[in-house]
A and B are shown apart, each in its own frame.
Chain A
Amino acid sequence: MPFPNVRLSNRPLHFIYLCDCSGSMAAQGKMQALNQAIRQSLPGMAEVADQNPEARVLVRAVRFADGAAWHLAEPTPVQQLKWRDLEAGGITAMGEALELVAAALQSPPMEERALPPVLVLISDGQPTDDFDAGLSRLMREPWAQKAVRLAIAMGHDADLEVLQQFIGPEPAGGGKSPRRPLQASNATTLAQYIQWASTAVVGAASMPASRVSGSGESGESGSNIPLPDLPPTLLDPTDDVGPLVW
């Protein structure tokens, strides 16, 4: 090894699910669909991680209901991840979940050379705690500002406004963009969105190209990482595929 006293390292890519586990998620198989979608996405995510060895994809998950807690606390290499099912029950402490993630995004423990993290918030309802305080706490962390933040609304009861606040400002003119909450009204659509986030987005975040500061080039995507296109069948996040179940 040419540099025996130097720790060369690939760059960690933290991927964090924030999962709504409130009681309403038990209805119409939503919780089951979410567990299934995440579990099914893991092989594809691992494949993308293997194709990008310069990034070390590490997955964590937060569950929130009456309170928020780490469901998967240790940043786990996706190749080693075994998904344990989430269970529904309680209210929607979304703000507390954001605070929990904010603490994890402090530096340290976040590595100085990390890639921008990916945060995926999935919810079917409205926050029952102080969402604004949680979001404000989260966005004080530089790593949260740098993060790729995505939101998936499960069903028509989800609070699109708070999900949009989590993502950041909606791009001008609306239109087709992953910078709006992705609306899933059945298990198939949910699985497609989760698959997209865990493969296409992870792939883009694993090898980000430089971005010219202050150029406004993030444009419609509004993200620190140019977001890949949504799956072809879901070009408009409000155009759902399949039956309206939720």
Chain B
Amino acid sequence: MKPAWQSALHCSVIGAAHQRQGKPCQDASMSCSLGSAQQQLQLLAVADGHGGSRYWLSDIGSREACRAARAAVEAALRQHPLKDQEQWLRQLQTELPEAIQQRWLDAVQRDWQQQPDAQGAPFSSAVYGCTLGLVLITTQWWGCTGIGDWDLVSLEPGGEACLRSQETLEGGAAEATTSLCQADALSAWSERAQLQRFSAADAPAALVLSTDGIRKSCATDADFLQLSRELIALTSTTELERGLREITAQGSGDDVSVAIGIYQGATSARGRSALRRWLPPAVVLGLSAAGALGWWLWPRPPELSPLQRQVAELCQAPAQIDLSLSQRQGQFAQLLRQPTAAQALINEPERDPLGALIAATANGTSALEACTPLKQALNAHWQAARKTPLQPPRSPQTPAQP
């Protein structure tokens, strides 16, 4: 049986900061089914206008980018059978980028002619500058391409969240990104292009495409991956919009967009996640005891401590283990310098569960009830911290008394 995908969801929400400044939302997003029953794919797209005075029409640029993506993919779909995966990889690497960029340029140039503020000024695509990420999902493969600082996360059948695509710029210049308005940046598209085959057994549960405002709203990458997992539990555009408003208000203040494709076989996981979030634990327990919702609705054990929950979360998502611990290198070092600080973390595990876990394993992981990858990673990080020469803690210079 071929894997099937549910109708995708998408949503863009104006950033809290843009709203305050009276600026328009410069993000755009799209999700749709294209083609016929025999030749059907789902398209996800997100675009992020650069904002700022130099890119004063980038809200239009991002909308036109999504439209151009749709038109270019539709045209390709009419010409190439989806089963020709080599052809579609080429499409993602070179053909679609060229077609999308040309369509986008034509569209923004037409728009420029209509702009009352243009006043005969020479056309520049830069004022429409934006990023664009797109994902194509078929019954046998998914692929992505695009330009700029969008992110793509896949939710694997086991529940693990994997970052599948992100922009990596040399030098890591602050807030810099590649852009659709760069005619010479086609190589940036091909660097992001990929095509992944799958079967019913190993199809991803979901694909979450987002603009950079989402990731920048999360404290760490581990939080971003967790957020991607939680986003797929939002079952309607209304819920998604409410969630995105929360993200931008509590986070970066930037415009935020997501487009989500969910594999039909993952319906149960999505429903389970939503139920676990909205039902009180007692109800979930009761339902579970009655066996009414089947094997997949396991109750969240209410007796788990914050530290145990942290262990469970990491063991359920092994890819997050090293990511999470790597961000705490300073904490490992600090606990070696000040072993007494461990007790404070252990005493209040709800404040910093990962810190409490690290502190609790300062003398080894043999007493820890956890999966082997987590124990091994903790041991490795402690070992690395011990090899690093201890630096005395910095203390503020006490000023001389006046």
Q: What residues make up the interface of A, taking CB atoms closer than 8 Å to B? A: 1-11, 52-55, 63, 69-74, 84-87, 108-109, 111-113, 115-116, 142, 145-146, 207-215, 217, 224-226
Contacts and interface: CB of A to CB of B under 8 A. Distances in A.
A51 to B, nearest CB: 8
B221 interface: yes
**Which 6 pairs across A and B sit closest by C-beta, in order of nearness?**
A54-B253, A209-B52, A69-B397, A146-B174, A73-B396, A7-B219
Contact of A109 (B15, B226, B227, B330): B330
Nearest to A68: B397
Interface stretch (B75-83, B165-173, B365-373): B165-173
20 contacts: A5-B313, A6-B226, A7-B219, A8-B218, A8-B250, A10-B253, A54-B17, A73-B394, A109-B330, A210-B52, A210-B55, A210-B129, A210-B131, A210-B176, A210-B177, A212-B177, A213-B178, A214-B182, A217-B54, A225-B175
A116 B396 contact: no
Given A212-B181, A212-B182, A10 B250 contact: yes
Contacts of B46: none
B250 A108 contact: no
Interface stretch (B33-41, B239-247, B356-364): B239-247
B340 interface: no
Given A8-B219, A74-B396, A108-B330, A211 B177 contact: yes
Contacts of B50: 209-212
B219 A113 contact: yes
Contacts of B216: 11, 113
Contact of A212 (B129, B223, B402): B129
A151 to B, nearest CB: 19
Given A8-B218, A112-B327, A212 B246 contact: no
Interface string B103-145: 0000000000000000000000010010100000000000000
Contacts of A87: 399-400, 402
Nearest to B333: A108
Given A10-B252, A70-B394, A85-B399, A210 B149 contact: yes
B218 A9 contact: yes
B344 to A, nearest CB: 17
Nearest to A113: B216
B174 A224 contact: yes
B179 to A, nearest CB: 4
Specify which of A4, A7, A63, A226 lies most central, judged by the most chain B CB atoms within 10 Å of its CB: A7
A11 B225 CA distance: 18
Interface in B168-222: 169, 171-179, 181-182, 212, 216-221
Contacts of A6: 218, 223, 226-227, 230
A207 B169 CA distance: 21
Contacts of B179: 210, 212-213, 215
Contacts of A215: 126, 179, 182
Contact of B174 (A9, A72, A116): A116
A108 B326 CA distance: 9
A71 B246 contact: no
B16 interface: yes
B48 interface: yes
Contact of A9 (B219, B313, B397): B219
Contacts of B251: 8-10, 54
A84 B242 contact: no
A55 B16 CA distance: 12
Nearest to A11: B252
A2 B253 contact: no
A211 B175 contact: yes
B165 to A, nearest CB: 17
A224 B175 contact: yes
Contact of A7 (B55, B218, B230, B399): B218
Contact of A63 (B217, B227, B397): B397
A7 B224 CA distance: 9
B395 interface: yes
B30 to A, nearest CB: 20
B338 interface: no
B174 A225 contact: yes
